[in-house]
Chains A and B, each alone.
Chain A
């Protein structure tokens, strides 16, 4: 099970990083979200995987590690705030700069190829 979980973390990270490296803002935001899924899963796994441990006191003798859970819970909420901020920033940048490239200007090389098409 652990190997499968690790593969999932790896795939999420790889997909997130690839999208993070794109040149337009929206794929970057999507990549950031994917990457934060991967990171959240990774953080969660620091408490090791438990199939059927008790989530609250008194429900069983074997407890899931609560600390990574508390960390990830706040990470999810903050991750939402960050995604929201970045995507609105992207909108603002498009409104003010007239394009949605991460550098704020479309590289000349791209303009050439767009005209050619």
Chain B
């Protein structure tokens, strides 16, 4: 569990600078450093445990069914990177304290840095690839924040966006690769994947997987042709560059390559992709570094070149190559971080980073100059420096490979060429900045920086020298631990010594050094040559690509999403028709072998009425009142259809709902236009007509095919258990209130919600109310006709009695809560219509929302009551009783449940209609008498 605290501490540390921003600047820096320092101590304390086993694991189950666990894994490689991340991170915190000016928010930078540190630690410590990927994306996001720290500068914003786009896109490719790896091996756990290297390499998906993973690696580690984002990321504050673009983020790609080395390496494809990319990157980076006048630009291209070198080493696929790669990761991190910090000091003191103006710094800041020169020598690979050792190993490895057959000599030659350029730009860094005459036109006079700003540089430069002089003592054990983790436990023979005798690598180094000096002192000729090429601006090219992408996305969006709901519906229905039509094509015969019912006259007449009603609704749809009347004809016939085919419950329900719907739509029509304008284009009418005929045809065919085939219904269960289990003869009602009672409870809840939603929609709504119909005829002046009022009043008790009767008999005969509720509602609505809302309000003092609530509560409590008897929710109970005079009768818990249904239905229906009706009556305009 100690392991989990290593990434967790910096995460908590991200809060520290925000909370402590009131403290002084120095105190803030110290407070921020506490938690990462603690994490570093924890990391170091885990080393003894690594002696016995190859890795330490810590796991928390998260979604085990999906193979997602929170899983941390600590081995030599993770140890090395954790030390780099935390150690250099601490130095950067100290350095940034003196780098930032008083206007810059230190707390913000520190919070971002801590977040980034967490993400990096998450990558190197993850034991699960999906988890690793999440942290990987987190580094992209936090580095976006860091590069864009000076968000008022447009180059910072652009650089940040470019870095995020390139690394983020690579991250998506990596996710694809990880998912494929998971499919191939059946697990996302690193241990499993590392152990199944042979399985992965033999798999048909190996090439795709490798390319996807490498896309992620190359974008992150700025490999050619994705290297362009790194120089633009130099818009970041220098502490950020020192941290992200030398020691950590760009190394995340290399880390992943090292991490998956046992699983993916060792094939021709690996060699071709990795080593050739690395070789190209190394040469391109080293060449362009020479022409950069910006101090940080030179370092950025040098970083690209060194990253290429390490990639090439991994690509060679030899064991010693992997060791050399790990070694160079350490060395590059130390000398490049110190060089960036030195460049930051010079920038800070001179006010510019242009090397054409910064000259002769040796006189102004000799101490810093000495430190920077040592680091630059390490970068060039001069003996007694750490860079020399790993470069020697690199040269030796390029001689060992034979991938290019008889042309294999090209690789060491090109490596030496890159070495020459590397020496040349290092020499330029030293000579241009610290010697070469006097500074030109500097904004301020440079002098030595504050004491503590140099401390991080001193520490790193000291490490360069110590590693360079006593390699096996200082870095030997760490290198061995990390390399054996990369190689899966087997470590090759190697010796970390300064002197190996006079051999080919040494001669290559000497050639590189002499050649580099020669190139530097003839630089004018090379500059003149390079000037003939038009300058390629990666930023503009990138912006062009992004703009084109946005333009094409907009184009596509405008075609798909033009804001027309009609078009969306057409597309969806078209898709439905295609899918259903296709499966109907597979059906050989439309008619099945089930015996069909004979036709009779009544049925034909009903069908004719139904079809005429439906078609008339369509034809007269622009005259809305007529369409509504036609619609109600259809509704009534549907109710008759239910009655005809042995479904009295449905017939009753449909009949009452039809009445309620008609009243509702009539009321709504009062507020809507009476006519629909003729606005559809003829082509659209034709399109809609054909589509609806196709869909209607499909629905009819499906119905016919279904009805003429026999089936094995599950209803027998309900028929058998209805009487014994639910105590009712009306199986439909027993299903509603008992077997599927929970569904019904959900349904009345939905009904209540819809009614309350309508209540809210109507609240505060002000609508235009016409004073007459579409033809200009005024409304009837007799608001409440006497005949209707009288009849409705006398009908009311009868109607209520009917609804009670329907409710009570519902369990055994057609009826039930739904139908009874609707009947009651219709009876009351008739009163509303006949007497007016105000008249009813004075007499019926029921608050409908409360009635809905009570109904749902009653049904729920009925269901919950069964818990008292230790039964599951909604278990029903019934019994038969004898009463003198009345005789035998039945009591069932389903009745109270049905009462809840009844109350909800009454409440909902009346809430909707009474509210809507009230709007029409309160301020209805009255037509004047026409004389």
Which chain B residues lie closer than 8 Å to A85 at the CB level? 754, 757-758
Q: Are B715 and A67 in contact (CB under 8 A)?
A: yes
Give chain B interface residues in 624-669, CB to chain A under 8 Å.
624, 627-628, 631, 634-635, 638, 641-642, 644-650, 653-654, 657, 660-661, 664-665, 668-669
Chain A binder among B127-135, B522-530, B563-571: B563-571
Which chain B residues lie closer than 8 Å to A20 at the CB level? 569
Question: Cα distance A6–B600 when bound, in Å?
Answer: 16
Question: Cα distance A45–B627 when bound, in Å?
Answer: 27
Q: Are B767 and A11 in contact (CB under 8 A)?
A: no
Most buried by B among A69, A82, A102: A69
Q: Are B905 and A5 in contact (CB under 8 A)?
A: no
Chain A binder among B76-84, B301-309, B428-436, B690-698: B690-698
Give chain A interface residues in 33-63, CB to chain B under 8 Å.
33-34, 37-38, 40-42, 44-58, 63
From B569, B638, B665, B672, A41 is in contact (CB under 8 Å) with B638
Q: Are B638 and A37 in contact (CB under 8 A)?
A: yes
Q: Are A84 and B664 in contact (CB under 8 A)?
A: yes
Q: Are B617 and A30 in contact (CB under 8 A)?
A: yes
Q: Are A1 and B631 in contact (CB under 8 A)?
A: no
Question: Cα distance A14–B751 when bound, in Å?
Answer: 28
Q: Are A94 and B767 in contact (CB under 8 A)?
A: yes
Give chain B interface residues in 684-716, CB to chain A under 8 Å.
688-689, 691-693, 695-697, 699-704, 706-708, 711, 713-715
Which chain A residues lie closer than 8 Å to B714 at the CB level? 67
B812 within 8 A of A: yes
Q: Are A77 and B697 in contact (CB under 8 A)?
A: no
Question: Cα distance A64–B700 when bound, in Å?
Answer: 22
Q: How many A-B residue pairs have CB under 8 A?
A: 308
Which residue of chain B has the shortest Cβ distance to A82 in the bound complex? B754
Q: Are A46 and B597 in contact (CB under 8 A)?
A: no
Q: Are B692 and A18 in contact (CB under 8 A)?
A: yes
B857 within 8 A of A: no
Which chain B residues lie closer than 8 Å to A9 at the CB level? 699-700, 703
For chain B, give the interface size range.
35 or more
Closest chain-B Cβ to A73's Cβ sits at a distance in Å of 5
Chain A binder among B47-55, B166-174, B724-732: B724-732
Q: Given A30-B627, A74-B736, do A2 and B704 touch, yes or no (CB 8 Å)? A: yes
Question: Cα distance A94–B744 when bound, in Å?
Answer: 34
Q: Given A22-B680, A95-B765, do A7 and B611 touch, yes or no (CB 8 Å)? A: yes
Question: Cα distance A87–B762 when bound, in Å?
Answer: 11
Which chain B residues lie closer than 8 Å to A114 at the CB level? 677, 679
Which chain A residues lie closer than 8 Å to B908 at the CB level? 81
Q: Are A94 and B671 in contact (CB under 8 A)?
A: yes
Q: Given A4-B604, A63-B731, A92-B765, do A69 and B649 touch, yes or no (CB 8 Å)? A: yes
Q: Are B664 and A83 in contact (CB under 8 A)?
A: yes
B614 within 8 A of A: yes
Closest chain-A Cβ to B812's Cβ sits at a distance in Å of 7
Mask, B806-823, CB within 8 Å of A = 1, is: 000000111000100010
Q: Are B634 and A70 in contact (CB under 8 A)?
A: no
Question: Cα distance A49–B594 when bound, in Å?
Answer: 11
Q: Are A88 and B916 in contact (CB under 8 A)?
A: yes
Closest chain-B Cβ to A51's Cβ sits at a distance in Å of 6
Q: Are B664 and A4 in contact (CB under 8 A)?
A: no
Which chain B residues lie closer than 8 Å to A78 at the CB level? 747, 750-751
Q: Are A51 and B645 in contact (CB under 8 A)?
A: yes
Which residue of chain A has the shortest Cβ distance to B618 in the bound complex? A15
Mask, B843-854, CB within 8 Å of A = 1, is: 000000000000
From A27, A74, A95, B621 is in contact (CB under 8 Å) with A27
Q: Are B691 and A17 in contact (CB under 8 A)?
A: yes
Question: Cα distance A13–B654 when bound, in Å?
Answer: 18
Closest chain-A Cβ to B684's Cβ sits at a distance in Å of 8
Which residue of chain A has the shortest Cβ distance to B717 in the bound complex? A67
Q: Are B604 and A55 in contact (CB under 8 A)?
A: no
Q: Are B750 and A81 in contact (CB under 8 A)?
A: yes
Q: Given A21-B566, A37-B634, do A63 and B628 touch, yes or no (CB 8 Å)? A: no
Which residue of chain A has the shortest Cβ distance to B751 in the bound complex? A81
From A34, A47, A63, A87, B614 is in contact (CB under 8 Å) with A34
Q: Are B617 and A73 in contact (CB under 8 A)?
A: no
Which chain A residues lie closer than 8 Å to B611 at the CB level? 7-8, 11
Which chain B residues lie closer than 8 Å to A38 at the CB level? 699
Q: Are B563 and A95 in contact (CB under 8 A)?
A: no
Closest chain-B Cβ to A64's Cβ sits at a distance in Å of 4
Mask, B561-580, CB within 8 Å of A = 1, is: 00111100110010000000
Question: Cα distance A40–B767 when bound, in Å?
Answer: 34
Which chain A residues lie closer than 8 Å to B645 at the CB level? 44, 49-51, 64
Question: Cα distance A19–B672 when bound, in Å?
Answer: 17
Q: Are B638 and A10 in contact (CB under 8 A)?
A: no
Q: Are A22 and B617 in contact (CB under 8 A)?
A: no
Q: Are B646 and A54 in contact (CB under 8 A)?
A: yes
Mask, B899-926, CB within 8 Å of A = 1, is: 0000001001100100010000000000
Known contacts A5-B703, A8-B610, A88-B761; can you find 16 more A-B pairs with CB under 8 A?
A4-B607, A7-B700, A9-B700, A21-B569, A21-B692, A22-B688, A24-B676, A25-B672, A30-B631, A40-B654, A44-B642, A50-B645, A55-B646, A87-B668, A88-B762, A109-B681
Closest 10 CB pairs of A and B: A14-B696, A10-B700, A6-B704, A1-B597, A66-B731, A17-B692, A18-B692, A81-B754, A70-B735, A64-B646
